[in-house]
Structure 1
């Protein structure tokens, strides 16, 4: 069995904020499987899906982000899961918006949901699916930035990032972390700079620059 935790804040006012991108990914995994969410105790919503032969429990903590571990630790304990069986899907301030990467373990990097999971599990040895939301623009406090809403011009990239995030969750659950890293690390949805078009050499017209005859006047 695998446990996938989408990190976010409960409440309709937070649904479309950057901090809740982890929720968007697990919602997409549940939608694809036709799974429904149910309340589990007072601290979590869960949905059960099957990926290949693997049973996967999706979790959306109903605590606020800073106390996410309170929703996660009981599932890890009840199902006697190893760290490698838990995947935390999180927003990542230190990655550009549109960048996706999986990591096997590591420190929380300032992400308070991951920080609290580490605190209550007592270790850092669980994988993370990090979805870049970029550093805040000049003058923004990071706390305000993560709770800001997505801009309309970001919608297409966000939708693609969520779809690929759900794909990465499925590969992790069915084929393991190494295969998911191989397929998805390095995913970068940022717009590519346009390639400058070549211009005729100085002092030559287009026909001469291309090696053709000059036009007849």
Structure 2
């Protein structure tokens, strides 16, 4: 069984912001796997399906970014999965725009959603797929930056990256994290 969660903020006003890359990647993955993410459970929108004989749970926490860990903890505790089968998809300001970075585990860095998950699980041993959203301009407030949208040209580029993030999650399920790191990490 895999639980794949994309982090973001609920509501139409946040839908296409830099901070919602996780939600957008889950939407893309749901389409690829033919899973409807429309049940409200565990403080989240979830969808359940199967992929190559494995149960897959897709999760979009509805707790807002900074409290994502509450929803993830509830899902993990209910399904009692090994954290190596929990995949988190998240935006990242510290990697190049429109690139991916796959990590097996590790710290949250500057990301409050990941901090919340690590705090609630009391563990950082879960894979994550990070989507580069670019760096804020000098003097720009970080919250304003991550809650901003993309330019038209950025939007086209980030759509391709969101698709790659979904393919990366599939690669982890098909093979393993190491294979996904070799295939998708920016060089």
Structure-1-length-normalised TM-score: 0.83
Number of matched residues?
Answer: 187
- Corresponding residue of 2:34: 34
Gaps of at least 5 residues in structure 1 are: 188-217
Shift of 1:53: 2.3
SS state at 1:3 partner: strand
Gaps of at least 5 residues in structure 2 are: none
Instruction: Kindly report which structure 2 residues correspond to 1:130-169, keeping only aligned pairs within 5 A, or say none.
Output: 130-169=130-169
Q: Name the structure with the higher helix share.
A: 2
CA contact under 8 A between 2:42 and 2:75: conserved in structure 1? no
- Corresponding residue of 1:106: 106
Q: Aligned equivalents of 1:180 and 1:14: distance in 2?
A: 29
CA contact under 8 A between 1:51 and 1:174: conserved in structure 2? no
CA contact under 8 A between 1:56 and 1:173: conserved in structure 2? no
Q: Aligned equivalents of 1:105 and 1:42: distance in 2?
A: 23
RMSD: 1.2
Instruction: Kindly report which structure 2 residues correspond to 1:2-41, keeping only aligned pairs within 5 A, or say none.
Output: 2-41=2-41
Larger radius of gyration: 1
Q: Aligned equivalents of 1:147 and 1:168: distance in 2?
A: 25
CA contact under 8 A between 1:53 and 1:174: conserved in structure 2? no
Shift of 1:139: 2.3
Q: Aligned equivalents of 2:12 and 2:109: distance in 1?
A: 27
- Corresponding residue of 2:182: 182
User: Relative contact order (alpha carbons < 8 A, sep ≥ 6): 1 or 2 greater?
Assistant: 2
Q: Aligned equivalents of 1:178 and 1:47: distance in 2?
A: 26
